[in-house]
Amino acid sequence: MAVHRLILLSLVVILSAVTVSEGLRLASRPKKCCFGYQDGRLGLAQVTGYFKTSPQCSKEAILFKTIKGRFVCAKPSDSWVKELMNKLDVKMNGKQIPF
């Protein structure tokens, strides 16, 4: 009987450790990544904010949030992307927009 309890306790401990480690792994994953870029340009009136994707993502990108609540991926080196980011920075005066 004691052996059964010991085996059961061991299984519970092992399963708990696996569950915690998987939870930590999933928590550290980036929330949003881009796998392609927007072809056309966006205007200042179409977006409410932006943020850079995580370094953990395979592609470096800027994610613009549209007034409709959608996210659009853009290539950070494109001139229109840099201009739009600067305009948004001036418009927001350094304030962060919660996503």
Question: Residue 53 pLDDT > 60, yes or no?
Answer: yes
| Buried b / exposed e along 57-84 (16+ C-beta atoms within 10 A) | beeebbbbbeeeeeebbbeeeeeebeeb
Domains in the chain: boundaries: 1-30, 44-92
Instruction: Kindly list the distances between the CA atom of residue 56 and the CA atoms of 60, 80, 87, in Å, as whole numbers in the listed order.
Output: 9, 25, 27
What are the pLDDT digits (tens) for 18-38?
A: 555 554 444 445 578 999 999
Q: What pTM did the predictor assign? A: 0.64
Instruction: Kindly list the distances between the CA atom of residue 93 and the CA atoms of 26, 76, 85, 89, 98, in Å, as whole numbers in the listed order.
Output: 34, 21, 12, 6, 15
Segment (H or E) for 48: strand 47-52
Q: Report the CATH fold assignment for 44-92.
A: OB fold (Dihydrolipoamide Acetyltransferase, E2P) (2.40.50)
